[in-house]
Structure formats: C-alpha cells, structure tokens
Structure 1
C-alpha cells in the first residue's frame, strides 16, 4: 500500500483485507460516519451571506468524490459524495452586541423577575434583597448563581456577599466587563 494513495482507493482496500474483527468493523463504521459528515453541505454555509455563497460557488469544481465502504469481509459502496474544502473551512461566527449599562440593568432585572420568591411589582433597582424583598442568604446565593449563568463568569464568594441590591449587581458586572458610559 502506498502512502500517497488517495483515501478513495485506500479505504476499500483496507476494508477488504484488514477488517476481520468486530472492533475493526466498528472503526470502519465510525470512519464512514466521519467522512459522511464532512461531505454534507453546511446549513450555515448555504444560508450565509451572499458573499460567502458567491465564494463557494466557483469551488464546486474543486469537489472530489469520496467513496465510503463498510463491511466485515466484502466491500459495499454506499455512494459517492462531494467533499468541499471551502465548506469545511468556512464558518460564520457571531458575537453579542456590546454591553451597556442599560442592557446589563435590563438583563439583571429580567433574571430577578423570573425568580419565584421575588414579587416583580415590588422590585426596583434599589431594592435590598433582605430588607425590602424578604429574602434570606440562601436566596441571595441562588440569585448570584443565576447572574453568573446569565453573564457567563464566576463571582467570587467574598464579592457575592456584598451584592445586596440589583443596582450593586449591575455596577459589579459593568466593572467586570469594562462597561462605562
């Protein structure tokens, strides 16, 4: 077997000669699934911007057929599918809009309004969790955990104990995320 042989010729030869054990059959199936997933066109790529679709269009000539084989003793052709090198490499990444004090405040208040022990009508940004809303320290811990989930970073326990109002939470998050107006 030559090293330079393309995968389309190598896989059937390996499948015919070397697949004797059940483990080898399973490995061939896994390899087949991987190759199939590479040959499928990406939904993001197809639904992407017109510039990306225009760039991929001429790449259709670069598609090469890849054959798949999976069987214990005999080779079974499952079909030929094109593999696009552009389709594999093109990805669309997105980012959230930049945070502002207003968006942070809105998200904090939204999370607090969803908390079942807080009456949304009594909630204002200056409400103290224990004095005004009647929450205990365990409730405060749950609120801080919800804020950690919402904003994607951990708040140390020493800092979390000091956050007693929504306003303080907003200011803490703004300081951590470098949001200033």
Structure 2
C-alpha cells in the first residue's frame, strides 16, 4: 500500500497541467469504449479482411475484459478510490463511485490492443499509444491506484489471450 500511495501521489503531482489535459481527453474518448469502437470501425472499413478480423478480435477481447473487470472483479473487491487528499488537483472530484479495483478502462484498452496486435501489428502499435495514456491517466487523475491499473492490464491480457485461443480450447475439450 505504501508503494501505491507513493506512486499515486507522484503521478498526480508531477504531470504538467497541459499533459494532464491531454491525458483526460484520451480517457474521455475511451469512456464507454468509444475510442476502441471507433478504432474497430476504422480498421473494418479501411483494413480489408485483416482489418475486419483485427476489429472483431479487439471487440471480443474488450467485451471479455469488461465482463471480468467490471462485472465480476469490481463486485468482489470493494476497494475505495485513492483518498482525495493525495490528489492535488480538481480532477479528483470527477471519480466514479464503483470499486477502485481493478481498472476497467485499462482492462478494456489492453484487451483491445493485445487482441488487435497479432492480426495487424501496425494497428496494434498505434492502439498501444492511447492504451498507455489511459493507464497513466487513471493513476494521475486519482481514479485508481497503480496496482488497480496493473490488475486491469493483466485482465486485459488474459481477455485477449482467451479470445485468441477460445475456439481451439473449445474444440480440444469438446467430446
């Protein structure tokens, strides 16, 4: 907990205001998965078969990660958000009331990016930039502890892995 506290306070106080505004803009676009749905639409529209396959994989992984993080983990772990007195700016007033653990925004972003990358590496690399920004913003804004973001990233990677291997796993264990 002391590491979480130190990292949260450093992220909240050391990021310049202009960078913080850019992080907030990226996070706002990722709210309700708008950014990832837009990216999937662009991939499907301009990417041919590879784009459609990458978009479908990304959206499936995102759905799995959101169900796991928001539908299951947040219900089981009732962790409060970082204390407002740790956050020296006014973004702390705009935090959700749900459990802090895990970061659903990070889970969705990592799942989408990790599922897109194997099919279309260039698109995955492009998606990695806003994914990283979302993860940083969740700590900088005071919405999450770094461990919440790390857990969200792990859930996202697991969602992408499961999405990629689900058919093979199903067929292997089908009687």
Instruction: Tell me which interval the TM-score lies in, with the shorter structure as reference length.
Output: under 0.3
Looking at secondary structure, tell me which structure has more helix per residue: 2
Larger Rg: 1
Answer 1 or 2: which has greater strand percent. 1
Taking structure 2 as the reference length, the TM-score comes to: 0.25
